[in-house]
Amino acid sequence: MSADDRSSYAARQAQLLDALLRGGAPPAGFAAAEADAAGRSLRRKRDRAVARAWPALALQLGEEYEARFDAFARVVDAPASGDPLADGLAFARSLGRDVRLGDDARAELLLARAAIRRRGLFVRAAWLRGRRPRLLVVARLPRAGPLHVSVPAGARGRDGGGASC
């Protein structure tokens, strides 16, 4: 099989894949309903993996989770590594100010950022004001795994220190 044959085959596969990932119209000759079902199935598989890696975020979004993730997945590819933690981080960031993250989701976000960080020092703190107000400090030291410490609020009231991403 010549290089030309392979490259024409590659182009046709890339066209189909693009349509499935974006949820766009499939290339000529494909049944639109079949391509739509296949594309949804790819995005659904991805959203389930992210929901498992980001349970607090998925729980907070509740019934909106699937539609929001689908909208995100149509425009942003999964990371090449396929890592659902990194995929979920990109998703969480894409929500921006649209969604005000609750304490559990903010804690999850900080821990994910520390876990994904491969090099250098990472230290962040978030002030969680739920039923049990506390200061969460998450760190990753060079050549070590992520660490986190949760300090109960006590009597001191404080504002700010939210997780940034």
Instruction: State the residues that interact with other proteins by CB under 8 A.
Output: 1, 5-7, 9-14, 16-18, 20-21, 26, 28-31, 34-35, 37-38, 41-42, 45-46, 48, 77-78, 80, 82
Give me the sign of the Cα torsion angle 113, 65, 41, 72. negative
Q: What six digits make up the tokens of 95?
A: 């929500």
CB of 22 to other proteins, least distance (A): 11
The tokens for 98 are: 């649209």
Question: Smaller CB distance to other proteins: residue 16 or 137?
Answer: 16
Closest by Cα among 116, 105, 159 to 135? 159
Residue pair 146/139 in contact (Cβ under 8 Å)? The answer is yes
Closer CB to other proteins, 80 or 155, in the complex? 80
CB of 84 to other proteins, least distance (A): 10
Is the CB of 74 or the CB of 100 nearer to other proteins?
A: 74
Shortest Å distance, C-beta 91 to other proteins: 14
At which residue do the structure tokens 């990109």 appear? 90
How many Å from the N-terminal Cα to the C-terminal Cα in the chain? 48
Q: Which C-beta is closer to other proteins: that of 29 or that of 62?
A: 29
The amino acid occupying position 83 is D
As measured in angstroms, the least distance from the Cβ of 63 to other proteins is: 17
